[in-house]
Structure 1
Amino acid sequence: MKKKLIPGFILAIIFTVASLNNAKAQAQQKELIVGDAMPAFSLTDQNGKAFNSADYVGKNFLVIYFYPKDESMVCTKEACQFRDSFNDFTKAGAKVIGINGGTVASHKSFADHYKLPFTLLSDPDNKVYHKFGVKDKMFMTGRETFVIDLHGKVVFAYTAMMQGKKHADDALAFIKAHNK
């Protein structure tokens, strides 16, 4: 019986230490808030092309949404809501960008499967996640949406892990209200 308890006990200690280290790292991570400048970044999109955020500042509002995983239930609902509202975002002068740690190939498959007309960026080491201060939730990368204005400043931020559809709805409502 002790043989079974010792490995379980060791696993519990390892898990606890890893959780504390993750919590400590996240506590040190600066969370972006309204008024902060968007951190510059470069990533690869679902078509294998380089995307440099600096190329878009001043041209469009940027709606940057971070999501945990391609093809998961809430993430798919969120992506499809951005897709269904895509023309409204475009008319309002906004460019929609989804980011997660998935591969370029995964993003391509996801975009093709759901006919997503916007940019999906691969952040394999979660460097951009960390630059934006997106916190992990429930052992997954977080779900947050930011609206960046023409000056490169965060003007809207929204966090809700289980309400993917609301990210697109609230970001669009904000842009429409402040784009008059």
Structure 2
Amino acid sequence: MLSRRRLLRAIACWCIALSTLFFASPSFAIGGKLPSLDQPAPEFTLPTNTGDGEIALADLRGKWVILYFYPKDFTAGCTLEARRFQQDLPKYTAQNAQIIGVSADSVDSHAEFCDSEGLKFPLLADTTGKVSKAYGSWLGNLSVRHSFIIDPNGILRATFVKVNPAIHSTEVLSRLTELQATVF
């Protein structure tokens, strides 16, 4: 049986997902104004679950970045989404892409989540919501389920606001392949 805390997290996750499905638009989505495509992506530096300190977008130049925001560790939709990204990780790696997950959860929560789910990509702790806000992905005290593809030069190339966790990684991988064929 779900604990009260996990049940509340699951309800919050579903509410955000449903709101995003019904009210999202290309330039403004639940969570705020999205950054503009074909412009430099908002810079960030956040602590990571890996114990290696922090990760900055600037440190990832030369790689494609799949930056995905999600509401909470250990919730049904967020766990499914993370598992799908992990399942496809070798495909992303083969395409010179780094997956980065971001939520308001703590570094310790992220570390437990990665250990529990066998995740081999970093999760960043945006506990104040500053980065989530810069990406139009903040609602109250949670990150909203949005994803972004950033090219090796730090330019934002794709935005996903209507995210279905079960198929999202496949959608992102397909769009990444298209972008790599046309942008570079």
Indicate if the aligned counterparts of 2:65 and 2:149 stay in contact, CA closer than 8 A.
Answer: yes
| One of 145, 148, 154 as aligned partner of 2:147 | 145
Measured in 2, the distance between the counterparts of 1:66 and 1:101 equals: 9
How is 1:4-153 mapped onto 2 (pairs within 5 angstroms)? 29-48=32-51, 49-57=53-61, 59-136=62-139, 140-153=142-155
- On the 8 A contact 1:98/1:120 being kept in 2, the answer is yes
Q: From the CA coordinates, give the structure whose radius of gyration is larger.
A: 1
Whether the 8 Å CA contact 1:145–1:167 is kept in 2: the answer is: no
RMSD: 2.1
CA distance, structure 2, for counterparts of residue 143 and residue 109 of structure 1? 20
How much does 1:155 deviate?
Answer: 0.6
Task: Give me the TM-score of the superposition, normalised by structure 2.
Answer: 0.76
Instruction: Give unpaired runs (5+ residues) of structure 2.
Output: 1-28
Structure 1: unaligned runs, 5 residues or longer: 1-25
- 1:34, distance to aligned residue in structure 2 (A): 1.8
SS of match in other structure, 2:33: coil
> Over residues 31-62 of structure 1, what are the superposed CA-to-partner deviations in whole Å (9 max), with x where a residue is unaligned?
213212111111000023211111112x1000
> Aligned with 1:165: secondary structure?
coil
Aligned-partner residue type, residue 180 of structure 2 = N
- The normalised TM-score by structure 1 is 0.78
Structure 2 partner of 1:170: 171
Which one has the bigger helix percentage?
1
Identity over aligned pairs, percent: 28
Q: Distance in 2 between matches of 1:36 and 1:143?
A: 21
Structure 1 residue ranges, 4+ long, deviating more than 6 angstroms after superposition = none
